[in-house]
């Protein structure tokens, strides 16, 4: 049957507000009697707070410390270890200690606060850390037997650095006291995460909590967990002052205090046969989790599951550890562990090809997963396994082989990377989330109620397309409710490439059920005649998915999307600057619900990957980010971004809405290894990112 | 301080050293101009000052006497660039879009790819990878 | 006004104002607004000397026929000083007065032996650009003086400029070099010392027919690069040497 909404680049549900200035982001909102908030933070990376006090004239100021917390002094996430406000023990620099609010922003900024700290001895090196947040072991086959079959054994250590999200809209919320509780409006990816954190913070005080997402200027995972912290702070101030409180960070505070991508050290020891078959992979993954648990166990989980790459190998061991250090906690960032571990495996594979004298494409073709193959966790690949298809198309389209042969003459490096990305929460995660979404009738059609947030990736539009198609009604008749926890059910967080596959899937089921109930009637007609009708559906795990959390065995994800990048670049002989010339990207996402929005995700994710690989460097000094401004933390401008040639293949996944898999994170997995492999093709032995000119210079001089 | 704001004469009373960005957003109530960094690096606060694209986070009110200031609101709600940015997905999250549109406007009709690449280098976008922004500007100019 | 209230800080394009204010590095709190002084914007030829008003913005320099014809490396520097928005507001006078060792126009002015024109209630005086800086962010400008113009004598020979950063469009340089190869070569470097530097030893070596390797070794003795947030001393040292080689190769007579 011909699709009328899905698969077309229909007019977006966002309207034109983003382009006219009418769209309202958190800092655009003003409430009568509103106060501004400010956070006083630690300066030392560990130790104790001996005292903190406002030294200015206190009139007009609302002051909050940990004693004002009615419930639990914790920002609830996976665990309750992270305090909302420091009581005494300091675990990282920029940890929040005191909150101030005042009607005048000037008075607020000029307020003098005295903070007495007693410094301790910090741990900064994750490999020296005494404590891990999580350890994971994946085992397949018999490693020793595997190595015994190898003709060549190659080892290597690969490193990736932290990365700042640099959503162009810094973080912020406004807390507004309501008669029976508190409402928080803000730049938020996961309203229900914030809701839960407020419940824990405020305790069983009978207060009603409501969280509403405002138009959000980018998230990339950075607004998954941290908004809970800001919301808790703003709520405490608002409740104490009985006034609305706007707490918005400027760029420097945002970079200094909020989460960033986990830095990684990944060690590989691999055995291959002479003709390039992988027979043994021993991988060690170390992530720097910072000072509190936050989401490190889950980042580690995704990281280790993806660590052996989209390849088949009979004997695999992957050991992962997420370590404690005295730095601001690392957190969710697009890719969530997979970019880090896939950087390592793809550069390692390149080195294997170099050592064997084998063509890098042949090496990957030989070992790429095919339908029927088993992954490291023992998951059997289905017909939606498209590793070789994307590889072939990327190689063909980019002219990889011809360009690779010409490297010496052209002085233009060319490298490739093959990658995969599981869609949805790992293992039993989706079952535990038990997400729900609702389709209800309106006088004009239907309305979607879900907590999935639009953060630029096209949630509103894509969900409306799915519902319109499944209900067989015009796309124009579908509206999408604002994610307001007072109104919408908990559809789980807007993360993990699940918004289409999982939540879109639930909405598709709800829409189909509604259609069955309506018969031939239009929903608007039914609504006008019989009153409102709502269908709520919950996530149902697909048949046959099995996951063993103890042994880390089984079906880690319902499906994987696949991608292959070819990077072409030049290396400046005088300055060692890496200049990307072109990036060819081929991805298979099952089905592009909105082709233009899908292309946008691929292009944007690719450029974020380029930035992570070549430009973005978090400089830490005594446990704090020393270059917390955009002058010194560099993301790609238009002048730094090479032409992108993007192809989206659609090899349908039967378990996804209209064949769709997940898409949002996949594109950031490819560029970094592709670029580094392109640099390698010029004879420079690079194994770490960011590949800043200084680092390339050192590697180039060592290689020659 | 008096200046022409989106075609109309406007008098404001903020302090001379107040940033034009804050005057526009607060005293004038026009929140379409955004703050992304406060240091003139991201371009989200771009307005046209006497026709030239500038970062309003770096302009002291004292230097706007008699100037012609154009913000995104000055383009109305149906300008070809605005429609193109939505249709071609030149805007994803939209926070950089007002500044991006104004800079694009200042580049004149049908800018070449090279001129676009260089001309937009002072407007950071984290969502799109810039390709769709070029598509949008090409479609509208 | 400056004479009467000596703590007034002259304010031109203000591209550094709020950054310094927020960082707490700005000493003044009272400012003298120069923005709307048309007499300080003019770019004219006076005999054989190019006179550039202190308030000429980078955009004005880029589009000026006179500057393009006579000092094209200043156009190059102006194009790379930052995005369009910075080019539209930043001024050459501001760049000179701000006295950052990384100022992009400074090596250009140093290499062409420019002259800084200072005006005050007592009149005007001219100071050689290569005597204008006395130390890190310190100049000979008296508190009652304003930079009114930069004068550039005719430049004989090929001009060469390169700004090095991590990114194609970059605010602050890691190394920035300008060179003139005419009768006697002139080479200036920024971001490798507390002030912008001319390299008399290197220039003499090149003029005396030393090999480029020897000249690079001399260059390395004349600079004092440091490790900082943006780069390393070693990188700056190596790149400065490479830039000298590139300058010499690019400007070699055909």
What is the C-alpha R_g of chain B?
15
What is the value of ipTM here, to two decimals?
Answer: 0.98
Confidence of residue A641 (pLDDT cuts 50, 70, 90): very high
* Domain edge (last residue) among A514, A538, A562: A538
Confidence of residue A205 (pLDDT cuts 50, 70, 90): low
Contact check, Cβ <8 Å, A600/B128: yes
Question: Which of A455, A457, A603 minimises the CB distance to B129?
Answer: A603
Which residues share a beta bridge with A566? A416, A584
What are phi and psi for residue A497, nearest 5 degrees? 50, 40
Q: What is the pLDDT of residue B135?
A: 97
The predicted-structure confidence for A424-465, as pLDDT tens digits, reads as follows 998 889 999 999 999 999 999 999 999 999 999 999 999 999
**What is the nearest CA distance from B52 to chain A, expressed in angstroms?**
19
Tens digit of pLDDT for each residue in A160-199?
A: 999 999 999 999 999 999 988 999 999 999 999 999 999 9
- Which parts of C99-188 fold into alpha helices (H)? 106-111
Distance (Å) from the alpha carbon of C232 to chain A's nearest alpha carbon? 7
Q: How high is the pLDDT of residue B82? A: 98
Q: What is the pLDDT of residue A17?
A: 97
Asked, for residue A16, whether it belongs to a domain, the answer is: no
A648 occurs within a structural domain = yes
Round to whole Å and give the CA distance between C31 and C146. 13
pLDDT for A35 beyond 80: yes
* Angle at CA of residue A503, ends A497 and A505, nearest 5°: 105
Q: Which of A216, A240, A257 is the last residue of a domain?
A: A257
- So what's the pLDDT on residue C6? 64
Interface test with A, best of C167, C240, C241 (most A CBs within 10 A): C167
Measured distance CA(A679)–CA(A695) in Å, rounded: 12
Q: What is the pLDDT of residue C25?
A: 75
Whether residues A432 and A419 share a domain: the answer is no
Question: What confidence tens digit (pLDDT) does each residue in A84-126 have?
Answer: 999 999 999 999 999 999 999 999 999 999 999 999 999 999 9
Distance in angstroms (rounded) separating the CA atoms of residues A339 and B60: 43
Q: What confidence tens digit (pLDDT) does each residue in A655-685 have?
A: 999 999 999 999 999 999 999 999 999 999 9
B37-96 residue pLDDT tens: 999 999 999 999 999 999 999 999 999 999 999 999 999 999 999 999 999 999 999 999
Q: A364 and A233 share a domain? A: no
pLDDT at A55 over 80: yes
Considering only residues 4 to 43 of chain B, which have any Cβ-Cβ distance to chain C shorter than 8 Å?
16-17, 19, 38-41, 43
Do residue A243 and residue A388 come from a single domain? Answer: no
The sign of the torsion formed by the CA atoms of A218, A220, A226, A227 equals positive
Burial (CB < 10 A; 0-12, 13-18, 19+), residue B26, is: middle
**A contact set with C (CB within 8 A):** 573-575, 577, 579, 615, 619, 626-627, 631-632, 634, 636-640, 692-694, 697
| A417 lies in the same domain as A432 | no
How many of the other CB atoms lie within 10 Å of CB of A448?
Answer: 27
Q: Are A422 and A447 in a shared domain?
A: no
- Check the CA dihedral A486-A491-A495-A500 and report its sign: negative
CATH numbers and ranges of domains, chain C: 8-35+59-151 (3.30.465.10), 158-250 (3.30.390.50)
A419 lies in the same domain as A435: no
Which of A604, A607, A631 is closest, CB to CB, to B41? A631
Residue in chain B nearest C169 by alpha carbon: B121
Q: For residue A500, is pLDDT > 70?
A: yes
How many Å apart are CA A328 and CA A95, to the nearest integer? 7
Query: Residue A523's domain is classified under what CATH number?
Result: 3.30.365.10
Q: In chain C, positions 95-134, which contact chain B (CB-CB < 8 Å)? A: none
* pLDDT value for C9: 84
Query: How far is A233 from A212, CA to CA, in rounded Å?
Result: 16
Provide, rounded to the nearest whole percent, the portion of chain B with pLDDT above 90: 99
**pLDDT for res A206:** 60
The last residue of a domain, from among A237, A257, A277: A257
Q: What is the least distance, in Å, from the CA of A33 to any CA of chain C?
A: 27
One domain, residues A294 and A400: yes
C83 and chain A in contact, CB less than 8 A? yes
| pLDDT exceeds cutoff 90 at A391 | yes
Residues on chain B touching A215 (C-beta within 8 angstroms): 94
Give the domain extent around A449.
428-538
- Total count of domains within chain A: 3
The answer to whether position A62 is within a domain reads yes
What counts of helices (H) and strands (E) characterise chain A?
19, 28
Kindly state whether residue A387 falls inside one of the protein's structural domains: yes
Instruction: State the DSSP string of A175-207.
Output: EEEETTEEEEEES-S-HHHHHHHHHHHH-SS--
A135 within 8 A of A320, measured Cβ to Cβ: yes
Answer yes or no: do A278 and A360 share one domain. yes
- The domain segmentation of chain B, as residue ranges, is 2-74, 75-140
- Would you say residue A26 lies in a domain? no
Measure B116 CA to nearest chain A CA, in Å: 8
Q: What is the pLDDT of residue A34?
A: 98
CATH architecture, domain defined by B75-140 = Orthogonal Bundle (1.10)
B-chain CB neighbours of C15 within 8 Å are: 40, 58
Confidence at residue B102, expressed as pLDDT on a 0 to 100 scale: 98
Which segments in chain C show pLDDT lower than 70?
A: 5-6, 27
Question: Does the structural domain B2-74 have CATH classification 3.10.20.30?
Answer: yes
3-class secondary structure, A81: coil
Same domain (yes/no): A331, A399: yes
CB contact under 8 A, C166 and A693: yes
Contact C235 A693 (CB under 8 A): yes
> Residue A319 — left, alpha, or beta (φ > 0 → left; ψ -120 to 50 → alpha)?
beta
Two structure tokens written together for A449:
């109620």
The answer to whether A114 touches A52, Cβ cutoff 8 Å, is yes
Q: What are phi and psi of A103, to 5 degrees?
A: -70, -30
Mark yes or no for CB contact C239/A574 under 8 Å.
Answer: yes
Is C168 in CB contact (< 8 Å) with chain A?
A: yes
Inter-chain touch A220–B126, beta carbons under 8 Å: yes
Does the beta-carbon distance from B35 to A604 stay under 8 Å? Answer: no
Closest by Cα among A571, A575, A411 to C242: A575
**Same domain as A389, residue A511:** no
Q: Is C41 on the interface with B (CB under 8 A)?
A: no
Considering the domain architecture, whether residues A517 and A562 belong to the same structural domain is answered as no
User: Could you give the CA distance from residue A290 to residue A226 in angstroms, rounded to a whole number?
Assistant: 14
Residue A683 domain flag: yes
**pLDDT one-digit tens code per residue, B20-45:** 999 999 999 999 999 999 999 999 99
Whether B80 has its CB under 8 Å from any CB of chain A: the answer is no
Helix (H, G, I), strand (E, B) or coil at B32: coil
Angle at the Cα of B24 (from B18 to B26), degrees rounded to 5? 80
Instruction: Indicate if A478 and A569 belong to the same structural domain.
Output: no
C90 contact residues in B (CB cutoff 8 A): none
DSSP A404: H
């Amino acid at each position: 049957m011909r699709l009328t909404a899905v698969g077309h680049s229909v007019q977006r549900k966002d309207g034109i507000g983003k382009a006219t200035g009418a769209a309202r982001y958190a800092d655009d909102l003003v409430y009568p009697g509103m106060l501004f908030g400010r956070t006083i933070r630690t300066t030392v990376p560990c130790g104790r707070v001996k005292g903190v006090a406002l030294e200015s004239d206190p009139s007009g100021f609302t002051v909050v410390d940990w004693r004002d917390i009615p419930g639990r002094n914790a920002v609830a996430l996976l665990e309750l270890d992270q305090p909302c406000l420091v009581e005494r023990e300091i675990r990282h620099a920029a940890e929040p200690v005191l909150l101030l609010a005042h009607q005048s922003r000037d008075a607020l900024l000029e307020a003098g606060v005295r903070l007495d700290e007693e410094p301790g001895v910090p741990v900064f090196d994750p490999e020296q850390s005494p404590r891990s947040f999580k350890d994971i072991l994946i085992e397949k086959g018999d490693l020793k037997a595997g190595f015994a079959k190898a003709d060549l054994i190659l080892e290597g250590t690969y490193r990736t650095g932290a990365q700042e999200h640099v959503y162009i809209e810094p973080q912020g919320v406004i807390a507004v006291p309501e008669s029976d509780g508190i409402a928080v409006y803000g730049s938020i990816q996961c309203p229900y995460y914030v809701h839960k954190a407020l419940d824990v913070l405020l305790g069983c005080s009978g207060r009603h909590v409501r969280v509403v997402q405002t138009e959000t200027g980018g998230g990339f995972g950075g607004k998954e967990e941290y908004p809970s912290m800001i919301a808790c702070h703003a709520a405490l101030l608002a409740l104490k002052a009985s006034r609305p409180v706007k707490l918005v960070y400027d760029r420097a505070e945002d970079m200094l205090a909020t989460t960033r991508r986990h830095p990684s050290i990944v060690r590989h020891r691999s055995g291959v046969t002479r003709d390039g078959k992988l027979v043994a992979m021993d991988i060690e993954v170390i992530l720097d989790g910072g000072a509190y648990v936050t989401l490190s166990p889950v980042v580690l989980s995704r990281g280790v599951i993806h660590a052996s790459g989209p390849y088949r190998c009979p004997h695999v061991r992957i050991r992962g550890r997420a370590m404690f250090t005295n730095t601001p906690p690392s957190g969710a960032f697009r890719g969530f562990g997979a970019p880090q571990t896939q950087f390592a495996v793809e550069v390692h594979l390149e080195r294997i090809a170099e050592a064997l004298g084998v063509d890098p494409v042949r090496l990957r073709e030989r070992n790429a997963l095919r339908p029927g193959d088993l992954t490291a966790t023992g998951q059997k690949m289905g017909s939606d396994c498209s590793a070789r298809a994307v590889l072939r198309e990327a190689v063909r389209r980019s002219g990889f082989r011809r360009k690779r042969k010409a490297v010496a003459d052209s002085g233009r490096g060319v490298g490739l990377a093959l990658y995969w990305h599981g869609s949805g929460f790992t293992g039993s995660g989706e079952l535990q989330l038990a997400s729900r979404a609702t389709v209800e009738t309106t006088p004009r059609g239907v309305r979607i109620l879900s907590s999935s947030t639009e953060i630029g990736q096209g949630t509103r539009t894509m969900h409306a397309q799915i519902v319109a198609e499944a209900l067989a009604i015009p796309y124009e008749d579908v509206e999408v409710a604002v994610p307001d926890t007072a109104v919408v059910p908990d559809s789980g967080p807007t993360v993990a490439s699940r918004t289409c596959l999982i939540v879109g899937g639930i909405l598709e089921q709800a829409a189909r059920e509604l259609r069955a109930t309506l018969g031939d009637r239009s929903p608007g007609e039914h609504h006008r005649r019989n009153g409102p009708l709502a269908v709520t559906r919950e996530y149902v795990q697909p048949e046959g998915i099995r996951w063993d959390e103890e042994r880390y065995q089984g079906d880690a994800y319902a499906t994987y999307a696949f991608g292959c990048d070819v990077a072409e670049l030049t290396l400046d002989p005088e300055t060692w600057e890496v200049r990307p010339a072109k990036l060819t990207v081929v991805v298979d996402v099952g089905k592009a619900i909105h082709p233009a929005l899908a292309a946008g995700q691929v292009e944007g994710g690719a450029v974020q990957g380029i930035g992570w690989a070549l430009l973005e460097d978090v400089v830490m000094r005594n446990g704090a980010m020393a270059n917390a401004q955009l002058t010194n933390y560099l993301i790609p401008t238009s002048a730094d971004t090479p032409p992108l040639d993007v192809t989206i293949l659609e090899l349908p996944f039967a378990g996804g809405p209209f064949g769709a898999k997940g898409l949002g994170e996949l594109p950031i997995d490819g560029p970094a290894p592709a670029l580094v492999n392109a640099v390698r093709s010029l004879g420079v032995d690079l194994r770490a990112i960011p590949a800043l000119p200084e680092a390339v210079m050192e590697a180039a001089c060592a290689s020659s | 301080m008096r200046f022409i704001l989106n075609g109309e004469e406007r008098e404001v009373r903020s302090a001379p050293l107040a940033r034009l960005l804050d005057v526009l957003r607060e005293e004038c109530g026009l929140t379409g101009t955004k703050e992304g960094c406060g240091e003139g690096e991201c371009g989200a606060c771009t307005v046209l000052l006497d026709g030239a694209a500038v970062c309003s986070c770096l302009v002291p009110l004292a230097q706007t006497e008699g100037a012609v200031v154009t913000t995104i609101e000055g383009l109305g709600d149906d300008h070809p660039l605005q429609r193109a940015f939505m249709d071609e997905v030149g805007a994803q999250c939209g926070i950089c879009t007002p500044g991006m549109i104004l800079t694009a406007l200042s580049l004149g009709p049908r800018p070449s790819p090279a001129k676009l690449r260089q001309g937009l280098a002072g407007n950071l976008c984290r969502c799109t990878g810039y390709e769709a922004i070029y598509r949008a500007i090409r479609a509208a100019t | 006004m400056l004479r009467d209230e000596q703590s007034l800080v002259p304010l031109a394009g203000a591209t550094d104002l709020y950054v310094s204010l927020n960082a707490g590095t700005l000493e003044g709190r009272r400012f003298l607004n120069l923005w709307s002084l048309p007499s300080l914007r003019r770019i004219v030829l006076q005999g054989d000397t190019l006179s550039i008003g202190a308030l000429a913005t980078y955009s004005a320099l880029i589009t000026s026929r006179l500057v393009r014809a006579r000092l094209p490396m200043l156009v190059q520097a102006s194009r790379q000083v930052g995005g369009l928005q910075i080019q539209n507001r930043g001024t050459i006078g501001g760049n000179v007065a701000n006295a950052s060792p990384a100022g992009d126009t400074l090596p250009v002015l140093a290499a062409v032996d420019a002259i800084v024109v200072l005006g005050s209630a007592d009149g005007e005086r001219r100071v050689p650009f290569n005597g204008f800086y006395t130390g890190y962010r310190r100049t000979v400008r008296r508190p009652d003086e304003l930079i009114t113009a930069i004068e550039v004598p005719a430049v004989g020979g090929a001009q060469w400029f390169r700004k090095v950063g991590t990114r194609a469009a970059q605010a602050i340089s890691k190394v920035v070099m300008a060179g003139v190869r005419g009768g006697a070569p002139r080479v200036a470097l920024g971001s490798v010392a507390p002030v912008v530097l001319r390299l008399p030893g290197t220039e003499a070596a090149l003029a005396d027919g030393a090999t480029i390797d020897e000249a690079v070794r001399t260059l390395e003795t004349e600079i004092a690069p440091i490790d900082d947030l943006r780069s390393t001393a070693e990188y700056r040292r190596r790149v400065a040497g490479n830039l000298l080689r590139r300058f010499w190769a690019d400007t070699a007579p055909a």
